[in-house]
Chains A and B, each alone.
Chain A
């Protein structure tokens, strides 16, 4: 019985923690579902500059909260997605974009998967050809 009470207290405390954490940021009211969807897309695509392996949507850092507020205000002002990402890039650079533009210094990044695919294709082609040759040689031996 005592254990059950303890468990109940633990569960209640944990639930309360969630409520407290959620309260730190005032919920945003959107004009439309379309606007809310754009807010979600933008915050998912933009990197939090404080905790650099998180996006703006996930981060609890105060600066991320503030930047979410800025993005929300810009959406309310009727700014386009390009204007909003432009706002972020002009301050923090291309680094904030999870999808960086294709340009000289990101060429390796974008080309790497294609290069890997090519290398893989070459390796496969070589081994298939080798195997074919070996097989042919073996068959020749067998028939001879």
Chain B
């Protein structure tokens, strides 16, 4: 009797395992950041197009801000750009651009073409600071609170739903 039930039990267990796998498959390529809840790693980066103006963490903290990692070579960055623009224009949160591994002329042409909603854009030409941030693709966005702590990371495009459900509630808006 038990012998006959074994295939059924194995089948059910396998089914549960596969269902679980399917459920997480949508987010499988998203790696949870170990930096959530930690201070933004120290940086010294020039402002895009102003190589003499080098900023560090102290220059940004004080009010919450969103760091939006983008590049001219990144197609998905164009998809999210209208929503990033809308968020920046709404004044709900400061939006800082983070130009990732891009040529200056390409980056500036991109901003001219699609609009520049950023308070300022940091330039990480080598991508070395992006490693400290755990960036592995673009676009990525980091929400940083007034103390300079990373409180949320969006991997992939920012959407109106992400803004509404993840970003605004975390800064009390």
Report A's interface with B, CB cutoff 8 A. Answer: 49-50, 52, 62-63, 66-67, 70, 89-95, 123, 126-127, 130
Q: By the criterion CB–CB under 8 Å, are B34 and A93 in contact?
A: yes
Encode contact with A along B1-42: 1 for CB under 8 Å, 0 otherwise: 011001000000000000000000000010111110000000
The verdict on A49 contacting B31 (CB below 8 Å), with A123-B6, A126-B3, A130-B3 known, is yes
Encode contact with A along B119-141: 1 for CB under 8 Å, 0 otherwise: 00000000110011110110000
Given B6, B34, B128, which contacts A92 in the complex, CB threshold below 8 Å? B34
Q: What is the predominant secondary structure among interface residues of chain B facing chain A?
A: loop
- Residues from chain A with Cβ under 8 Å of B131 in the complex: 63, 66-67, 70, 91
- Residues from chain B with Cβ under 8 Å of A130 in the complex: 3
Q: How far is the CB of B27 from chain A (nearest CB, A)?
A: 12
- Residues from chain B with Cβ under 8 Å of A52 in the complex: 29, 31
Q: How far is the CB of A110 from chain B (nearest CB, A)?
A: 16
**A-B residue pair count with CB separations less than 8 angstroms:** 42
Q: How far is the CB of B48 from chain A (nearest CB, A)?
A: 20
Report B's interface with A, CB cutoff 8 A. Answer: 2-3, 6, 29, 31-35, 101, 127-128, 131-134, 136-137
Given A62, A91, A126, which contacts B35 in the complex, CB threshold below 8 Å? A91
Q: By the criterion CB–CB under 8 Å, are A91 and B29 in contact?
A: no
In the complex, A95 Cα to B22 Cα: how many Å? 19
Q: By the criterion CB–CB under 8 Å, are B136 and A50 in contact?
A: yes
- Residues from chain B with Cβ under 8 Å of A127 in the complex: 3
The verdict on A92 contacting B134 (CB below 8 Å), with A52-B29, A63-B127, A66-B127 known, is yes
In the complex, A130 Cα to B2 Cα: how many Å? 10
Please give me the residue from chain A that is nearest to B126 by CB atom: A66
The verdict on A92 contacting B136 (CB below 8 Å), with A63-B127, A66-B131 known, is yes
